[in-house]
Amino acid sequence: MRWVFLAAGATGVTAVGLGAGAAHGFSSFLPPESVAWIRTGVDYQIWHALLLAAIAAAGRSMAGLRWAALTVLLGVVLFSGSLYVLAFTGWKGIASVTPFGGVLLIAGWLLFAWTGYRAAVARNTEAA
């Protein structure tokens, strides 16, 4: 699960960097609507960086989390990434990708919850 730690760190650092740009510099060359898209992408990305960190921390004890991590990472790339492309290029066609990223983020949370639930049930069964 080392790759998930790296993914969490990379996701977090890019979110912070883009967030700082949205707060302090992008408004000098981007319209307010584009800066808002960046902020939305950053909001989702930073929360999912934290989820990736939680998955990485719990990963050794719950093997099914590998799929949750992969799903979340792909969701961040598609959801937040499409918003960034839209903001910086103005290419509206990329917006059709954003909902697929959102669905993957939801699926990642569901996989995280289901894997944790299954592990807890297994521990309770073993203890009984």
Dihedral (CA of 113, 53, 71, 35) sign: positive
Tens digits of residue pLDDT in 31-48: 999 999 999 999 999 999
- Domain holding 83, by residue range, is 2-127
Distances (CA, A) of 52 to 26, 45, 61, 77, 84: 27, 10, 15, 13, 20
Structurally, the chain folds into a number of domains equal to 1
Q: Which of 4-18, 51-65, 82-96 has the lowest mean pLDDT?
A: 51-65
pLDDT reported for residue 128:
64
7: nearest Cα among 79, 75, 82: 75
Structure tokens given for 50: 């934290």
Which single residue is written with the structure tokens 């996701």?
Answer: 11
Summarised one tens digit per residue, pLDDT across range 67-96 is 999 999 999 999 999 999 999 999 999 999
